Each structure stands twice: as C-alpha cells, then as structure tokens.
C-alpha cells in the first residue's frame, strides 16, 4: 500500500515498531489478537489495528502540500479535514480557515471567497451542489480534493446500481458530512433514502410491505429522502451502501434484513435475489472492518477497563467505544490530558452527549490490564502519549522508552 508524507509529529516510534512487527508476522491480517505490552505493574492490550487509515493519511498529505504550494494565498477547508481536533488545529495554525462546521452551517460568507483562493475538499467528500458552487466561483474543486478513495468507491457503486434501476438505501448518520455527500451523489442517479440504524431499517421494511400509510413515510423520513421519492414504487428494488465509518456488522445486518423483507414480500427465492436486491458488500471500508475486527479480537481477552482515543465527533471512533462498552468499563478520551490524575479521568459519554469527569477509574489493585485502541483519524503519536501518561500515573514512568527499545530490537 502507498506510503504518505505525513508530518513526523504524528508518528510514534513505539507504535510504528509494533505495527511493523505485527505486519511482518501477519501479512494476510488474519490475526486479530491484541499486542501485549508489559510496563511494570501496568499491562496494556493494544488493538491489532488502529489509528490513521489510508484515506486520512492521503488527506493530510494533500492538505499540507496545498499549504506548501500556495504561499501567500488564502486557503480554505470546506469543513473539518478529519474528525480529530489536534490535526484540525494544526491546519488552522498554518492559516487554513474552515468555511463550514461539521453540520454544514456557514462560518463565513460565500461572498468572501474568490477565484484566487484555494479551497480543499475534506476526506469525507462533499456534495455535488457544493462542487457546483465552487465551479461557479471559478475554483476547481478537484485540485486539492482529499476525498477518501473508499468513500468514492461507495459513490461509484451507488451510481452504477442506481443506473441499473435500484433505489439506494444509505446506512449513515443523516447529518454527517460523508452521508450528506453520499446522498447527494446517489440521488443524482436514482431515488435515495437514508436510514440511521436498524430501527429505521425495520421501519422502512414496513413501507416495503405496505403495512403503513404511504403519506406517513414522508414524515418518518423527513430530510432523509431524495426529491420526488415515490414510496409506492421506489422500494421495490434496492441496494444498501453505507457511510464508511459505521459499524460494518450493523450495515450488513440492515442489508440482510431489508433483503429478506423484499424477497419474502415479492416471493423471490434466494438464488434470484439480484432481481430485487443489489449485492453491495464490496463497498465496506477495509479500515473500518480492520479496526472493528481488532476490537472484537481484543475483547476476547480479559481486562479491567478500556481507553478509546479519538475526536469526540468521530463516527468510526464512537463505534469502537460502543463495542468496548459491551464488555467492560470504557472511557472515550481525546488525548493524554484527559488522564487528569491517578484518581480522575475526563471522558466523553456517547449516551449523554457530553464530557464527564469520573473518579476512581484505576483499579485499587496491581497489576491491572487496560485495553487501548484509537479511531482512524487519531495520530499514533497521541496513542503513545496516552500510554506514557498512563504509565506515569501508575508509577511506571519510563516504560515507553523501555518498550520502544524492546520492540525496535525485535
């Protein structure tokens, strides 16, 4: 796989040594057991896969190159490059300004942008409507486009099966940048509807089976269907694609559920399923799959608690948190400073949608085990700093240097 020119301060000598060793020992990526790090009275179970993915590194390289190649010019990002506060802060420190927030709300006036400016499309991609706005201003939207290739793969697949007469069902968070972009690209080819979870998929299934009044669909899915969507005919043939950072297992579950509903409703045998349901399994993101599978593998071990590192608005990171929460106490932290002391941790609660402070998070006994993973937009250096901070707080200062020497010598 291609390597990218990513700023050195995002790298971690320790994590790089571990990843290189695991990759050499498991070229086919079939081993999802965690890496065990012994740090005195602290034992760390580090997920097999975590951190920057291909799409994120590609986006960071392009953004930093845009700055280097356009000295003296104004440079804008349509919205956050990725959902990591540290990386976005670095870009802003270089003078890059954000045009919109993550929900699409304007942070400045479009009138302030001219054809002399540079505008970067973030890794999530953008809508066709936004691309046209840029073109109308005389700005080439693809010159510094950082859209993840795997997001584009979803768009291309949605377009292809849409042209073949299937309606697209997008599994994603309706307000997320990537889902908005995928919805825009899909609806240019075919009727499209967004479902945010299995509950909405089951609701959609009721409309497939004509169990609910047609007019209710436009209320239940307000803002989530394309213009002119006809519930009486546009759910007869479907294909399911996803926001690439969703839980892969949930996307597959939704696809399987809707497939079974449609086949049962129309009396179609499984071997003829393609008559009504398109096969879209090839649109699932490899990094999402790898990181989630690595957490599942890690959870087969025993530990006292888990730390998941990443931006609080990161979709892929939140799903790693959800997986860990199924088994053990889990703390979603943005950086090492969230480990306030040996008694206090600051962390984000997905259910209350706010940051909390918890006391007594470390076990009262030693040794103890902690699981650690991070989202696809989290630099490896940040994970190393979390490990170092945890080691210091547990009386194991200097453990990172010892671990690094050990792994580099392996």
Task: Please indicate whether residue 80 is annotated as part of the active site.
Answer: no
User: What does the alpha-carbon distance between residue 92 and residue 332 come to, in Å, rounded to a whole number?
Assistant: 25
For residue 309, what are the β-bridge partners? 333, 374
Grouping H, G, I as helix, E, B as strand and the rest as coil, residue 143 is coil
Grouping H, G, I as helix, E, B as strand and the rest as coil, residue 35 is strand
User: What does the alpha-carbon distance between residue 58 and residue 147 come to, in Å, rounded to a whole number?
Assistant: 9
Number of Cβ atoms within 10 Å of the Cβ of 341: 10
Give the CA distances from residue 98 to residues 93, 163, 346, 373, in Å, rounded to whole numbers and listed in that order.
Answer: 12, 35, 27, 29
344-349 and 42-46 beta bridge pairing: unpaired
Number of Cβ atoms within 10 Å of the Cβ of 36: 11
Q: Which residues contact 279 (CB under 8 A, 6 or more apart)?
A: 239
- Residue from 402, 409, 243, 393 nearest 307 by CA: 393
User: What does the alpha-carbon distance between residue 188 and residue 107 come to, in Å, rounded to a whole number?
Assistant: 27
What is the DSSP annotation of 368-380?
A: EEEEEEE-TTS-H
Q: How many CA atoms lie within 13 A of 99 on its CB side?
A: 24
Grouping H, G, I as helix, E, B as strand and the rest as coil, residue 100 is strand
Number of H helices, E strands in the chain: 13, 13
Which one from 145, 178, 336, 384 is the annotated catalytic residue? 178
Give the phi and the psi of residue 250 in degrees, each rounded to 5.
Answer: -70, -40
Catalytic residues: 178
């Amino acid at each position: 796989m291609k390597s990218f020119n990513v700023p050195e301060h995002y790298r971690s000598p320790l994590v790089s040594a571990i990843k290189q060793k695991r990759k050499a020992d498991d070229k086919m990526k079939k081993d999802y057991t965690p890496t065990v790090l012994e740090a005195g009275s602290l034992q760390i179970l580090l997920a097999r896969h975590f951190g920057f993915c291909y799409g994120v590194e590609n986006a960071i390289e392009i953004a930093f190159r845009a700055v280097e190649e356009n000295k003296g010019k104004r440079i804008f990002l349509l919205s956050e490059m990725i959902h990591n506060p540290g990386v976005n802060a670095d870009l802003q420190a270089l003078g890059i300004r954000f045009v919109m927030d993550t929900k699409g709300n304007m942070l400045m006036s479009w009138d302030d942008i001219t054809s002399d400016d540079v505008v970067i499309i973030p890794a999530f991609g953008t809508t066709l409507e936004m691309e046209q706005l840029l073109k109308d201003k005389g700005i080439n939207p693809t010159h510094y486009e950082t859209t993840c290739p795997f997001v584009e793969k979803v768009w291309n697949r949605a377009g292809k099966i849409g042209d073949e007469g299937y309606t697209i069902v997008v599994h994603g968070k309706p307000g997320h940048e990537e889902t908005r972009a995928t919805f825009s690209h899909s609806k240019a080819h075919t009727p499209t509807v967004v479902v945010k979870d299995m509950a909405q998929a089951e609701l959609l299934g009721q409309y497939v089976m004509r169990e609910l009044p047609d007019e209710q669909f436009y209320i239940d899915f307000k803002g989530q269907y394309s213009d002119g969507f006809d519930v009486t005919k546009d759910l007869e043939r479907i294909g399911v694609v996803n926001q690439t950072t969703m839980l892969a297992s949930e996307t597959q579950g939704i696809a399987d559920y809707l497939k079974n509903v449609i086949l049962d409703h129309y009396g179609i045998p499984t071997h003829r399923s393609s008559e009504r349901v398109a096969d879209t399994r090839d649109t699932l993101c490899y990094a999402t799959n790898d990181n989630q599978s690595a957490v599942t593998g890690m959870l087969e071990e025993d530990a006292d608690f888990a730390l998941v590192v990443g931006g609080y608005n990161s979709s892929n990171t939140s799903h790693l948190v959800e997986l860990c929460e199924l088994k053990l106490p889990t703390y979603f932290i943005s950086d090492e400073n969230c480990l306030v002391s040996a008694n206090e941790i600051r962390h984000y609660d997905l259910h209350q949608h706010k940051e909390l402070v918890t006391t007594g998070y470390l076990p009262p006994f030693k040794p103890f085990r902690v699981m650690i993973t991070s989202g696809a937009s989290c630099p490896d250096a940040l994970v190393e700093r979390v490990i170092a901070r945890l080691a210091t707080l547990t009386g194991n200062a200097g453990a990172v240097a010892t671990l690094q020497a050990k792994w580099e010598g392996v």
